[in-house]
């Protein structure tokens, strides 16, 4: 197990849940961020890699099939890894079926990288960590920029409020770090709930939601030392 980290931080996915959670769940979410599980228990890194590879290499479905075949034919050392591979195969298939509804034809994707910068709010580092940067050119030949975040959970699908909070923070990340590439287009800012087959875009009204995030981060920072 990893030891507790010193400074308050939260992943954007967990913050999205935190903002709509009961008090008891909020406490558990902070504890899980302060005492993260061993990395081997992360279920979907291979699926995230496969989908990112697909998006960045021309959106050819054969790439997704190749990743599924590799996972299906690999002999794993233990039952946990074999089960994780099956979950990833299912996640890749769910995304493959959902992808045409995203309307990304003509959009160029590039990988964000392994450790992109965080958003800082009220003493808390928000780890947004999108998978890909999305870019397109409008009818006036102007570059437009966005980002995509993949969300994986079979048991905890995003609801409308959580999805919009995450999309709003994704837009804030893009505005803070990606404007040198061109203006941020909210229509290119996507949160994709892979198992639910649903996407979320940033809401147009952000002031109240940003206040909600500010208050949630203040609460996380205050609870962090005693959690």
Collect all residues with Cβ–Cβ distance below 8 Å to 12 and sequence separation of at least 6: 126, 127, 128, 129, 149, 166, 169, 170
**Model pLDDT, residue 146:** 97
> Which of 92, 178, 85 shows the shortest CA–CA distance to 135?
178
pLDDT in tens, the chain (227 residues): 344 457 899 999 999 999 999 989 999 999 988 887 665 556 799 999 999 999 999 999 999 999 999 999 999 888 988 999 999 999 999 999 999 999 999 999 999 977 788 999 999 999 999 999 999 998 888 899 999 999 999 888 999 999 999 999 999 999 999 999 999 999 999 999 999 999 999 998 889 999 999 999 999 999 998 76
**Model pLDDT, residue 1:** 39
Name residue 145's beta-bridge partners.
Answer: 135, 184
109 phi and psi, to 5 degrees?
-110, 145
| Sheet of 143-151, strand order | 108-111, 132-137, 143-151, 190-193, 198-200
CA distances to 6, 65, 81, 145 from 223, rounded to whole Å, are 13, 45, 35, 36
pTM: 0.89
**Length of the chain (residues):** 227
**Model pLDDT, residue 116:** 84
């Amino acid at each position: 197990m990893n030891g507790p980290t010193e400074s308050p931080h939260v992943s954007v996915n967990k913050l999205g849940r935190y903002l709509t959670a009961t008090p008891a769940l909020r406490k558990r979410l902070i504890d899980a961020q302060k005492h993260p599980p061993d990395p081997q228990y992360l279920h979907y890194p291979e699926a995230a890699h496969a989908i990112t590879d697909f998006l960045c290499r021309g959106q050819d479905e054969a790439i997704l099939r190749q990743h599924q075949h590799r996972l299906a034919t690999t002999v794993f050392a233990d039952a946990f890894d074999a089960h994780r591979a099956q979950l990833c195969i299912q996640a890749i298939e769910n995304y493959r079926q959902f992808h045409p509804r995203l309307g990304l034809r003509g959009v160029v994707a590039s990988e964000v990288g392994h450790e992109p910068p965080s958003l800082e709010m009220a003493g808390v580092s928000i780890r947004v960590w999108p998978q890909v940067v999305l870019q397109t050119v409008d009818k006036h030949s102007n570059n437009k920029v966005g980002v995509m975040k993949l969300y994986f959970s079979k048991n905890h699908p995003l609801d409308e409020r959580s999805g919009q909070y995450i999309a709003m923070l994704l837009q804030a990340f893009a505005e803070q770090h990606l404007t040198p590439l061109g203006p941020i287009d909210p229509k290119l800012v996507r949160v994709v709930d892979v198992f639910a087959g649903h996407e979320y875009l940033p809401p147009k009204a952000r002031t109240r939601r940003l206040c909600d995030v500010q208050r949630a981060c203040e609460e996380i920072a205050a609870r962090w030392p005693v959690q």
